[in-house]
């Protein structure tokens, strides 16, 4: 056999790392943290083994634990003490996220990103102000333009509490522009926006709705989140967010949408984030519990694939467990 090309020559131990194209670093990861104003002790999240909701009093401690693993950034989600029709606890100066952010920034050096959305704060669980008759007419859901002002107020209240970056996830048209204007008007020109730019209406969010208590009371989110079959539309969505001043572009979910991550990477110069969502976490845990998968290996390979596809940063519930091994 006379083979000129033998790719296996570069797969031996000494050379393999030298020709490795993609690396995963602890600094690439963002760990979601759930702060719950309705509890005074840690509550394990059943559908997401290892994840907890912490009371306000433990928010800073929880983030310090994350930091010890080498992960430097967190994304804060809040479960408010009460909900109402418009989600007013989302922008309350003494709301759960605002309080948590104040304590986290006082007591740790973490880079603090906040999720800006209304679904955890509205009693109907939708990501904005409802259309009248939305409950009886499945073609109606949220009033886009009326929601913008509330999102901007929420983002500003997070920045006032000390958030380093805000991440709007409601898929409201114009949300990045409205938030940019709100932040700039309040003197927060330096607070960047990571937009959930291409966010799909996905079955993989199931466990999160459990974790953050944000399931819609009726209907679904398909009138504002994207159709999983659409790829070109993602480019239009992302382009709009870029025009409106988004600093970081997120694709969500990650694993089933790596083609979208890759296209956004090649079409735009901005940093790209991938959100490795709750369902992606839950399914690996479920398989590992049955002994069918090696959890750490499967998680590492998934995140590496996201980086290979073009993600610069990854929001992932695996952050804490994987970081020490990187």
Asked if 323 and 26 touch (Cβ cutoff 8 Å), the reply is yes
Strands 129-130 and 142-143: antiparallel
In 3D space, the residue among 76, 218, 40, 219 whose CA is nearest the CA of residue 154 turns out to be 76
To ligand PBG, the closest distance from the beta carbon of 277 in angstroms equals 4
Instruction: Name the catalytic one among 83, 153, 199, 307.
Output: 199
Asked if 89 and 95 touch (Cβ cutoff 8 Å), the reply is yes
Q: Which two tokens stand for residue 127?
A: 């990501």
Let me know how long the chain is.
Answer: 326
CB closer to ligand PBG, 251 vs 277: 277
CB closer to ligand PBG, 27 vs 47: 47
To ligand PBG, the closest distance from the beta carbon of 273 in angstroms equals 12
Whether 252 is catalytic is yes
CB closer to ligand PBG, 184 vs 230: 230
Instruction: Name the catalytic one among 83, 153, 252, 307.
Output: 252
- The set of residues, in sequence order, having a beta carbon less than 8 Å from that of 253 and lying 6+ positions away, is 200, 202, 204, 205, 275, 276, 277, 279, 280
Which residues of the chain form contacts with ligand PBG (CB under 6 A)?
115, 117, 119, 127, 169-170, 205, 208-209, 214, 221, 277-278
Residue 316 to residue 326: CA distance in whole angstroms:
15
To ligand PBG, the closest distance from the beta carbon of 155 in angstroms equals 14
In 3D space, the residue among 83, 109, 85, 107 whose CA is nearest the CA of residue 96 turns out to be 83
To ligand PBG, the closest distance from the beta carbon of 200 in angstroms equals 10
Residue 301 to residue 90: CA distance in whole angstroms:
36
CB closer to ligand PBG, 119 vs 161: 119
CB closer to ligand PBG, 168 vs 177: 168
CB closer to ligand PBG, 105 vs 276: 276
User: How many other C-beta atoms can be found within 10 angstroms of the C-beta atom of residue 139?
Assistant: 9
Residue 160 to residue 186: CA distance in whole angstroms:
9
Exposure of 72 in the CB half-sphere (CA atoms within 13 A): 8
> Which region holds residue 271: left if phi is over 0, alpha if psi is between -120 and 50, else beta?
beta
To ligand PBG, the closest distance from the beta carbon of 118 in angstroms equals 8
Which residue's CB comes closest to ligand PBG?
208
To ligand PBG, the closest distance from the beta carbon of 205 in angstroms equals 4
| 273-305 residues labelled b (16+ CB within 10 A) or e (exposed) | bbbbbbbbbbebbeebeeeebebeebbbebbeb
Catalytic residue positions? 199, 252
């Amino acid at each position: 056999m006379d083979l000129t090309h033998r790719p296996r020559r570069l797969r031996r131990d000494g050379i393999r790392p030298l020709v490795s194209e993609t690396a995963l670093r602890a600094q690439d990861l963002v760990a979601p943290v759930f702060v719950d104003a309705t509890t005074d002790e840690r509550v394990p999240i059943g559908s997401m083994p290892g994840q907890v909701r912490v009371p306000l009093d433990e928010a800073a401690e929880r983030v310090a634990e994350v930091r010890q693993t080498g992960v430097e950034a967190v994304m804060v989600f809040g479960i408010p003490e009460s909900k109402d029709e418009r989600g007013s606890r989302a922008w309350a100066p003494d709301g759960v996220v605002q309080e948590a952010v104040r304590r986290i920034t006082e007591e740790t050096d973490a880079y603090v990103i906040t999720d800006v959305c209304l679904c955890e704060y509205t009693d109907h669980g939708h990501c904005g102000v409802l259309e009248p008759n939305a409950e009886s007419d499945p073609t109606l859901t949220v009033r886009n333009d009326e929601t913008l002002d509330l999102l901007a107020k929420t983002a500003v209240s997070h920045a006032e509490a000390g958030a380093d970056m805000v991440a709007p996830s409601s898929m409201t048209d114009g949300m990045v522009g409205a938030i940019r204007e709100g932040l700039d008007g309040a003197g927060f020109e330096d607070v960047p926006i990571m937009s959930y730019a291409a966010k799909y209406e996905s079955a993989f969010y199931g466990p999160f709705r459990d974790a953050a208590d944000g399931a819609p009371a009726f209907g679904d989110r398909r009138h504002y989140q994207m159709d999983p079959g659409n790829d070109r539309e993602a480019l239009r969505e992302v382009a709009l967010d870029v025009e409106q001043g988004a600093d970081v572009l997120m694709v969500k979910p990650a694993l089933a949408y790596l083609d979208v991550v890759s296209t956004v990477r090649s079409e735009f110069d901005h940093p790209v984030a991938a959100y490795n969502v709750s369902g992606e976490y839950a399914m690996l845990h479920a398989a590992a519990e049955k002994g069918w998968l090696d959890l750490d290996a499967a998680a590492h390979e998934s995140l590496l694939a996201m980086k290979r596809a073009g993600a610069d940063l990854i929001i992932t519930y695996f952050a804490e467990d994987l970081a020490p091994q990187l």
